Amino acid sequence: MKAKSKVAKTRRLFTIGYEQAKPAAVLNELERAKIELLVDTRAVAASRRPGFSKRQLAASLDDAGIGYIHLQKLGTPAEGRAAARNGDTDALWRIYDKHIKTAEAQAELGELIALVKSGKRVALLCYCRDPKVCHRSRIVANVKKRTQVKVDDLIPPLF
pTM of the complete model beyond 0.85: yes
Report the pLDDT value the prediction gives residue 9, as an integer from 0 to 100: 83
pLDDT digits (tens, 9 = 90+) for 46-83: 999 999 999 999 999 999 999 999 999 999 999 999 99
State whether residue 120 is helix, strand or coil.
coil
83-102 per-position pLDDT tens digit: 999 999 999 999 999 999 99
Kindly state the helix (H) or strand (E) to which residue 63 belongs, with its residue range.
helix 54-63
Cβ(40)–Cβ(57) below 8 Å: yes
Helices 23-32 & 54-63, crossing angle to 10 degrees? 40
* Partner residues linked to 16 by β-bridges: 125, 154
pLDDT at 2 over 60: no
Compute the mean pLDDT over every residue in the chain, rounded to the nearest whole number. 94
CA distance 133 to 20: 15
CB 115 within 8 A of CB 13: no
In this prediction, residues 136-156 reach a mean pLDDT of: 96
pLDDT for the residue numbered 151? 97
CA distances for 14 relative to 7, 133, 157, angstroms: 22, 16, 16
pLDDT at res. 8: 65
Domains of the chain: 11-154 (3.40.1010)
pLDDT, position 142: 97
Task: Give per-residue burial for 114-145: e unless 16+ CB within 10 Å, then b.
Answer: ebbbeebbbbbbbbbbebeebbbbbbbebbee
